[in-house]
Structure 1
Amino acid sequence: MSILISPDSFKGSLSALEVSQAIEKGIQMVNPDITTLKVPLADGGEGTKEAMIEATEGKKLTVETTDALGRTINAQYGITGNNNTAIVELAAASGLDKIEENDLNPSIASTFGTGVLIRHAIENGSKRFIICLGGSAANDGGLGILKGLGFRFKDKHGLLVDEGGLSLMKIAEIDDSQIVKGLNECEFKIACDVTNPFVEEKGASHVFGPQKGASTTVIKNLDKSLNHFADVIEEKYEVKIHNMEGAGAAGGVAGGLCGCLKAELCSGFDLVASTLNLKKVLSGNDIELIVTGEGQLDSQTENGKVISGITTLGNQFEVPSIALVGGIQSITNSLYDQGLIAVFSIVNKPMSLSQSIANAADLITKQTEQIIRLYLAKN
């Protein structure tokens, strides 16, 4: 019997690899002769870099760069084991978690530090990129990233504009004559699971601005700035991003990169699954069962999260899935329709959240043991 172990991380507790190892331990407690194949997963958000490095035996590279306020920091990006793909998480350099709440200021915050990471990867030979959005402290439409790659943005006087979301309003010209060598040969795919457009009420500034520290007045000005930037991009590259679905992700980074780099917006899980060749894994290893999981099952699970994604993929190969989760907030029949046969919480007695987090690995192992005993008894 072969079992594919493909969970997401349990955020705040265990990485996807650590969850996989805990599940494997529980399986081996029942029968050490069961073949297990560990492929840790992610949905394109936090933890994607780690999961893909672990699954492909890749590596991390540390680069000196800057945070969203221009302060020097060290940040990492990943390279898959076949050296084929660079994985850059926006939050690694430009994240909210790098800035104290009182210092948040999307008017001047920049994604330049993420551009430095991408440039470093290009200069080291990378041609294929997965850009993971989420957790950005900036609302600059990707201005900083593009500046880090050699784009120059000039005002009506021919002077270079400053960093930050409000600087977008001053742009009169995009000069791409000095972009980093090899950039035009690169392929960019953006892990994006939101549908917000670039501008207006459901756009980047109005929806995501408040969490970045923007007041009502600032939000309106940021939206006007993004709209102006979209106009300039359309004039230069003939790409209209104003109402593009998903373009508003991460303070408009998705739209800016689509407009200037011809980046492609993709489902986060689908990107991960494609990069890890999950279809080949499922078709070529006589897999009989998938054990997956994530920290919490809720209303978002069925919309491109790991449990939904791997279950749907397994169902294409007639492989059933069982999920382990920290908590079950809600569950819909659609997950069962996708191929999930059961969901189990790892909590086996009354305990606090902090207790379940502290003991997650042991709880996962014990629950996995019981699941496999039941599954084998019924098969």
Structure 2
Amino acid sequence: MKIVIAPDSFKESLTALEAANAIEEGFKKVFPDAEYLKVPMADGGEGTVQSLVDTTNGKIQTLTVHGPLGELVEGFYGISGDGKLAIIEMAAASGLDLVSPSERNPLITSTWGTGELIQDAINKGVKEILIGIGGSATNDGGAGMIQCLGGKLLDKEGQQIVPGGVGLADLVSIDLSELNPKLKEVEIKVACDVDNPFTGPKGASYIYGFQKGGTAEQVEQLDKNLAYFASLIRQYLNKDIEFVAGAGAAGGLGGALMAFLDAKLQNGGELVSELVGLAEKICDADLVITGEGGINHQTIYGKTPICVAKIAQKYQVPVIAIAGSLTGNYETVYEHGVTAVFSILSELTSLETALEMGYENIRKTTQNIASVIQLSQSRL
């Protein structure tokens, strides 16, 4: 029996690889001679770097970068084992968690640090970059990133505009003549699981600006600034990103990556599945096990368990999903290739205890699942 184990991380409890190890340990108690193939997964959000580093036998690269407010922070990204792929989570340099609630202000936060991660990766000779763009503290339309990479976003005095979304109002010209030439040698893919446009009622500013510390007046200003930025991108680059789905992700960073770096936006889970060759691993499997910290009605919108299940469904391979919690109308996952769903919790407990016991709870749950499978086989 070949079993593919492809979970996402269990947030704040286990990495995807640790979760996969716990699943394997539980199943081996019942099926010690089965073939196990562990494929740590992610959907482009937190944990994507670690999952792909683990899957490709790569390494974590750390470096000091500028955080959202210009302060120095310890950033990181991953490099695959063959050195060809860099995996970046923009939140590692420009994330909301790097700014205390009292200091959050999308008028002044910048994506400069994300540019520093990209710069370091291309200078190391990678040929492909995957950028996960969830969890941002920024609303600058990716301006800081472009400036870091050598682009000139100039005001009427011929000076670089100031950091943050507020600076876009002073922009009068775009000059990419000094953009890092190595960018032309790299293919950039963006893991994006939202479809918000650059501007408008469902755009970057109105949907996400408030959680980044913006007031109603600031959010209105930021939306106008992004619309103006989009008009200059049309003028100077002949690209129209304003209403493209996903362009508004990470405060407009998605749009900047498309416009300035010719990046391709894709569903995060599908992109990671493609990079790790998940279909080739599942096609001849007898069983697939996936999971993540929580499964609910939103899981069907591109989360890891569904991306895994859709691939397995093509090959008629049953899929068992496990989760720390099952909430909402989680049964909707049955309509998308998941055969059965199990919670790993066996008793009421505090969240802190549940997180601490993640590995053991997964091991026990998957051993029980394996025992039921063994029983069903013996009765057939």
Question: TM-score, normalising length from structure 1?
Answer: 0.97
Query: Does the residue aligned with 2:205 lie in a helix, a strand or coil?
Result: helix
Question: CA shift at 1:72, angstroms?
Answer: 1.2
In 2, the alpha carbon distance for the partners of 1:112 and 1:45 equals 19
- In structure 1, the partner of 2:300 is 302
Query: Does the residue aligned with 2:299 lie in a helix, a strand or coil?
Result: coil
In 2, the alpha carbon distance for the partners of 1:77 and 1:174 equals 29
Mapping of residues 165-204 of structure 1, within 5 Å: 165-204=165-204
Mapping of residues 42-121 of structure 1, within 5 Å: 42-121=42-121
Query: Does the residue aligned with 1:60 lie in a helix, a strand or coil?
Result: strand
- In structure 1, the partner of 2:351 is 353
Mapping of residues 149-160 of structure 1, within 5 Å: 149-160=149-160
Residue type of the partner of 2:328? S
- In structure 2, the partner of 1:229 is 229
Mapping of residues 240-259 of structure 1, within 5 Å: 240-259=240-259
CA deviation map 1:126-159 (0-9, x unaligned): 1211110111111000011111111011112222
- In structure 2, the partner of 1:12 is 12
CA deviation map 1:280-315 (0-9, x unaligned): 2123xx311001111111121011101111011011
In 1, the alpha carbon distance for the partners of 2:318 and 2:238 equals 46
CA deviation map 1:248-297 (0-9, x unaligned): 111010011111111111000111011101112123xx311001111111
- In structure 2, the partner of 1:123 is 123
In 1, the alpha carbon distance for the partners of 2:300 and 2:38 equals 22
In 2, the alpha carbon distance for the partners of 1:7 and 1:199 equals 35
In 2, the alpha carbon distance for the partners of 1:370 and 1:358 equals 20
- In structure 2, the partner of 1:146 is 146
Instruction: Report how many aligned residue pairs link the two structures.
Output: 377
Q: 2:361 aligns with which of 360, 363, 366?
A: 363
Question: TM-score, normalising length from structure 2?
Answer: 0.97
CA deviation map 1:177-236 (0-9, x unaligned): 111131122211111111111001111011100111000111011111101110011111
- In structure 2, the partner of 1:319 is 317
Seq. identity, %: 42
CA contact 1:188–1:264 (8 Å) conserved in 2:
yes
In 2, the alpha carbon distance for the partners of 1:354 and 1:219 equals 36
**Are 2:342 and 1:374 equivalent residues in the alignment?**
no
In 1, the alpha carbon distance for the partners of 2:224 and 2:324 equals 42
Question: CA shift at 1:334, angstroms?
Answer: 4.7
CA contact 1:193–1:304 (8 Å) conserved in 2:
yes
Residue type of the partner of 2:115? G
In 1, the alpha carbon distance for the partners of 2:171 and 2:257 equals 16
In 2, the alpha carbon distance for the partners of 1:225 and 1:339 equals 43
Mapping of residues 269-308 of structure 1, within 5 Å: 269-283=269-283, 286-308=284-306
Q: CA RMSD in A?
A: 1.2
In 1, the alpha carbon distance for the partners of 2:344 and 2:282 equals 26
In 2, the alpha carbon distance for the partners of 1:28 and 1:10 equals 21
Mapping of residues 333-348 of structure 1, within 5 Å: 334-348=332-346
The answer for unaligned runs of 5 or more in structure 2 is none
In 2, the alpha carbon distance for the partners of 1:307 and 1:369 equals 20
In 2, the alpha carbon distance for the partners of 1:377 and 1:4 equals 20
CA contact 2:84–2:125 (8 Å) conserved in 1:
no
In 1, the alpha carbon distance for the partners of 2:84 and 2:373 equals 38
The answer for unaligned runs of 5 or more in structure 1 is none
In 2, the alpha carbon distance for the partners of 1:275 and 1:375 equals 31
CA contact 1:234–1:259 (8 Å) conserved in 2:
no
In 2, the alpha carbon distance for the partners of 1:105 and 1:46 equals 22
Question: CA shift at 1:365, angstroms?
Answer: 0.4
Residue type of the partner of 1:115? G
In 1, the alpha carbon distance for the partners of 2:155 and 2:254 equals 23
In 2, the alpha carbon distance for the partners of 1:61 and 1:106 equals 28
CA contact 2:293–2:324 (8 Å) conserved in 1:
yes
CA contact 1:297–1:331 (8 Å) conserved in 2:
no
